[in-house]
Structure 1
Amino acid sequence: MQENELKRGIGMMASLATVMGTVIGGGVFFKTASVVQSTHSFTLTILAWIIGGLLTICAGLTVSELAAAIPKTGGAIKYLDYTYGPLTGFSMGWAQILVYYPANIAAESIVFSTQIINLFHLNGGLLNPIAIGCALSILIINLLGSKVSGNVQTIALVFKLIPIFIIAIIGLFIPGEVNVSLFPISPINHDSLWTAFGAGLLATMFAYDGWIGVCDVAGEIKNPKKNLPKAIILGLSFITIIYTLINVVFLKTLPIDQIAGNQNTASEAAIKLFGELGGKLVTIGILVSVYGSLNGYTLSGMRIPYAMGKSKSLPFSNAFTKLTKKTLVPYVAGLFQLFIAILMIFAGSFDLLTDMLVFVMWIFNCLLFIAVFRLRRKEPEMIRPYKVPWYPIIPIIALVGGIFILFETIISQTGLALVGILLTVLGIPVYYLQQRHLKNNS
């Protein structure tokens, strides 16, 4: 079967499960601290989560048009390649190899380590060693083969949902110790309402990260015109509601000052709600969820340099394509990814790493939104099994939101933005040098 003739075997429920499975992770438990620290307001915190969810829905609906029209293995990289040329597609792959996946692994490892230290009252100096051990253990699991890593992912998916539902649903009906009010809206410790809200919205984006993975299966969904937008709207709306409810529970359980900047918010709120033992059990559920999320990023991430190595796009491409003998896993790509993640564990905090990966990926997200407009104009005859609804309103909302995220990061975290841009731009000379090398050896 040719690449553009993928079998459409994914039904509505499987599409919905794909949406929720790729997006729900540990971010909602640990980004609350950053959102509240930025907003210092109940209303702005809740609004940031709602607007973040709506923006994610618009983004998913927009990029899915590209996915359905260009159903090629490689996802967003191939959409950029098709629309703008191979350099742009390569740049996204390069950014995923150097920033997105290693930063995700490093950030999730740091937060896993933080929770282990908090749960067992260990010395804070063990943060980096535990984080590195966590990332290494996940790589070893993946080297044992896709069946083993797949089982870890399945178990983690169940545990992922348990703490989310316990906190969001049960926590709502337990009387809170903090009086919450929608007014006043203004943050307690900020002069500018927009600055506070912008920083809070930016912080939510990591929790909603993963939506673009939904688009990878667009070419295999039954009746995509009907099922794809329904899966995205229902799935991401449900996630937005759950995330918002979890934050309402946090804010009515703990004082704002205790939440702001506190990455142990979820476990402390769980202990307040369900007692010492119940809180610890919820924390263990969160740990398994984070471990599963780490497994997903490791599993997917090591296959990017492998795929680019197969197409000879990278220096030392032959090394990146090396597989383990029995399990056929790209071990060199996995070790390379782990090496960069370890450097990031030593170099940055959870918030620093997640903000940088969100910034870099949203550069390419904005290019994807623009690609929808560009292809509508250049190739109106292109077969589009699914078209974004309410065009051009939905893509415009997605693009405006994306530009806002980029400018907010540049203004509030200029150094972080410059590092992200520099790491991405470094791929350009690598691309041209590799092309020259291939030409000389052809």
Structure 2
Amino acid sequence: MGKDELKKNLGLVPALALVIGIVIGAGVFFKPTAVFTATGAPGLGLIAWILGGVITIAGGLTAAEVSAAIPKTGGMIAYLEETYGDMWSFLLGWAQTIIYFPANVAALAIIFGTQAASLLGMSDSAIVPIAIIVSVFLIIMNLFGSKTGGVIQTVSTICKLIPLIAIIIIGLINGNGGTVRLLPMVAQNHPIATSLGSALVATMFAYDGWINVGAIAGEMKNPKRDLPIAIVGGLSLVMAVYLLINVAYLFVLPASALAATKTPAAAVANVIFGQAGGKIITIGILISVFGTINGYVLTGMRVPYAMAVENKLPGSKWLAKLTPNSKVPVNSGILLGIISIILIFSGKFDQLTDLLIFVIWIFYVMTFFAVFVLRKKRPDMERPYKVPGYPIVPIIAILGGLYIIFNTLFTQPLNAGLGLGVTLIGLPVYMARKNKFTRNNED
């Protein structure tokens, strides 16, 4: 069977590294702008980072039960298909193909262009061209094979740790803000509920990506034991790093200054390291963002390919085409590139990230709720791992997700409507093609 052909050679350490590597990307360096703009005060901003971590860990603990019980390659798509049926797994795959992965690539490419233009002293008009060049370059590089993409990922993961560690250590030691910079808790004219909600959406982009580790369950030596540990352990470490670096930011610059700059990490680096040292840190940040884009390109081009192999998408024969030598889904990569470039022209990093977070969290909540559904529908299902604190922990994850979704609906109705509209376009596509689906027999 297809699943048995996968080499089960991944242990706990690579899975743990993958969670940390996927999650720590551009958000930690650039989302403080959106967080402290939304809250207007450092205290509420830090609460948003903490709350985002708590919701994500609760989600990780909850989703881990589903991923351990359904250790199939495909991750969340497999979970939704097993729990709710073909239609919901199709809509997730559709949303990932049309919104989630292209918007991630576009948003990260925009922030790469913003950082590069700032470093080189170029005007804002250079941001979009740089963003398009870097995204096209990485798609081309990934067409040479997954090994090439893997090398880029490894180098960038190492490089991303350098600016993180440097800013945390030097910022905390030499920063002169102290506790004064951590106050006040709430700013005037910033309603707590909506301000915290908007900041939370921003932090969730920085925490996003953790669930994608479930996609490699079929290649893990012991996914039922190691996958939950990797998700929870990795997210706990990420949360600690995010809190430390945001406190370091606030020790160096006030929340108002962080909200006023498009490149908060670089601004902090310039203060504590000087202009020359700040540029070196900025280069490290650029490499980190470069690697994060690469990660989304590498995984993103495989989603439409996997759907096309089962004849689920219009033009499936074209999308399922592989390169002759490297066996990479070339046309699925081209599709990802085209949609990403269209989104890049918006030039709006925060709008794109809020859009993709809104859409993907609808499916995250469904994954969390799947714990309740499967326990009722399939009580005899083998569950080597069960979420601790059931049902409280899953309820925390679900309520947190619903808060993110409804806050976006109320505070950004056009953005939410666009996300829902594009996702729901998948319904008529599903209805038109459901009788043409073929099965990979990967169970």
TM-score range, shorter chain: over 0.9
SS at match of 2:388: coil
State the match for 1:18 in structure 2. 18
In the TM superposition, what is the alpha-carbon distance from 1:325 to its structure 2 partner? 2.0
Question: Which residues of 2 match residues 352-391 of structure 1 at below 5 A?
Answer: 352-391=351-390
- The structure-2 alpha-carbon separation of the partners of 1:220 and 1:61, relative to structure 1 and needing over 3 Å to count, comes to farther
**Cα-to-partner distance string for 1:351-401 (whole Å, 9 max, x where unaligned):** 000000000000000111111100001100001121111111111110000
Q: Which amino acid aligns with 1:262?
A: T
C-alpha distance in 1 between matches for 2:396 and 2:173 = 35
- The structure-2 alpha-carbon separation of the partners of 1:129 and 1:7, relative to structure 1 and needing over 3 Å to count, comes to closer
C-alpha distance in 2 between matches for 1:275 and 1:182 = 23
State the match for 2:243 in structure 1. 244
In the TM superposition, what is the alpha-carbon distance from 1:255 to its structure 2 partner? 2.5
- 2:301 is the counterpart of 1:295: no
C-alpha distance in 2 between matches for 1:137 and 1:418 = 32
More deviation in 28-37 or 246-255? 246-255
- The structure-2 alpha-carbon separation of the partners of 1:70 and 1:234, relative to structure 1 and needing over 3 Å to count, comes to closer
Instruction: Give structure 1 stretches of 5+ with no counterpart.
Output: none
State the match for 1:102 in structure 2. 102
C-alpha distance in 2 between matches for 1:221 and 1:304 = 20
State the match for 2:115 in structure 1. 115
State the match for 1:176 in structure 2. 176
| TM-score when normalising by structure 2 | 0.94
C-alpha distance in 1 between matches for 2:324 and 2:5 = 31
| TM-score when normalising by structure 1 | 0.94
State the match for 2:91 in structure 1. 91
**Cα-to-partner distance string for 1:266-324 (whole Å, 9 max, x where unaligned):** 11110101111110000000000000001110011111111111000001100001122
Maintained 8 Å contact 2:64/2:231: no
Q: Which amino acid aligns with 2:402?
A: I
In the TM superposition, what is the alpha-carbon distance from 1:100 to its structure 2 partner? 0.3
Instruction: Give structure 2 stretches of 5+ with no counterpart.
Output: 439-443
In the TM superposition, what is the alpha-carbon distance from 1:237 to its structure 2 partner? 1.4
C-alpha distance in 1 between matches for 2:102 and 2:76 = 18
- The structure-2 alpha-carbon separation of the partners of 1:14 and 1:185, relative to structure 1 and needing over 3 Å to count, comes to same
State the match for 1:162 in structure 2. 162
State the match for 2:197 in structure 1. 198
Q: Which amino acid aligns with 1:332?
A: N
SS at match of 1:149: helix
Question: Which residues of 2 match residues 252-291 of structure 1 at below 5 A?
Answer: 252-291=251-290
**Cα-to-partner distance string for 1:138-159 (whole Å, 9 max, x where unaligned):** 0111112222111111111101
Equivalent residue pairs, number:
438
Q: Indicate the RMSD between aligned Cα atoms, in angstroms.
A: 2.0
C-alpha distance in 2 between matches for 1:105 and 1:117 = 18
SS at match of 1:324: coil
C-alpha distance in 1 between matches for 2:115 and 2:50 = 27
- The structure-2 alpha-carbon separation of the partners of 1:229 and 1:335, relative to structure 1 and needing over 3 Å to count, comes to closer
C-alpha distance in 1 between matches for 2:320 and 2:5 = 26
Q: Which amino acid aligns with 2:381?
A: M
Question: Which residues of 2 match residues 40-439 of structure 1 at below 5 A?
Answer: 40-177=40-177, 180=180, 182-190=182-190, 192-218=191-217, 227-436=226-435
- 2:35 is the counterpart of 1:28: no
Q: Which amino acid aligns with 1:431?
A: Y
In the TM superposition, what is the alpha-carbon distance from 1:350 to its structure 2 partner? 0.2
C-alpha distance in 2 between matches for 1:138 and 1:124 = 22
Maintained 8 Å contact 1:4/1:72: no
C-alpha distance in 2 between matches for 1:51 and 1:325 = 47
**Cα-to-partner distance string for 1:7-49 (whole Å, 9 max, x where unaligned):** 7654433332122122111111111100000011111111111
In the TM superposition, what is the alpha-carbon distance from 1:63 to its structure 2 partner? 0.9
More deviation in 324-333 or 172-181? 172-181
In the TM superposition, what is the alpha-carbon distance from 1:226 to its structure 2 partner? 5.5
SS at match of 2:207: coil
Q: Which amino acid aligns with 1:60?
A: G
In the TM superposition, what is the alpha-carbon distance from 1:162 to its structure 2 partner? 0.9
In the TM superposition, what is the alpha-carbon distance from 1:262 to its structure 2 partner? 2.1
Q: Which amino acid aligns with 2:409?
A: I
C-alpha distance in 1 between matches for 2:386 and 2:85 = 23
C-alpha distance in 1 between matches for 2:6 and 2:67 = 12
C-alpha distance in 1 between matches for 2:2 and 2:338 = 36
**Cα-to-partner distance string for 1:176-220 (whole Å, 9 max, x where unaligned):** 257625554222442x12221111111100000011013334466
More deviation in 336-345 or 193-202? 193-202
Maintained 8 Å contact 1:35/1:200: yes
Maintained 8 Å contact 1:95/1:360: yes
In the TM superposition, what is the alpha-carbon distance from 1:225 to its structure 2 partner? 6.2
- The structure-2 alpha-carbon separation of the partners of 1:226 and 1:151, relative to structure 1 and needing over 3 Å to count, comes to closer
- The structure-2 alpha-carbon separation of the partners of 1:376 and 1:438, relative to structure 1 and needing over 3 Å to count, comes to closer
Maintained 8 Å contact 2:23/2:207: yes
Q: Which amino acid aligns with 1:250?
A: Y
- The structure-2 alpha-carbon separation of the partners of 1:371 and 1:315, relative to structure 1 and needing over 3 Å to count, comes to same
C-alpha distance in 2 between matches for 1:252 and 1:266 = 12
C-alpha distance in 2 between matches for 1:198 and 1:87 = 30
Maintained 8 Å contact 1:34/1:261: no
Maintained 8 Å contact 2:75/2:213: no
**Cα-to-partner distance string for 1:114-173 (whole Å, 9 max, x where unaligned):** 011100101221111111011111011111222211111111110111111111223211
Maintained 8 Å contact 2:73/2:216: no
- The structure-2 alpha-carbon separation of the partners of 1:7 and 1:374, relative to structure 1 and needing over 3 Å to count, comes to farther
SS at match of 1:205: helix
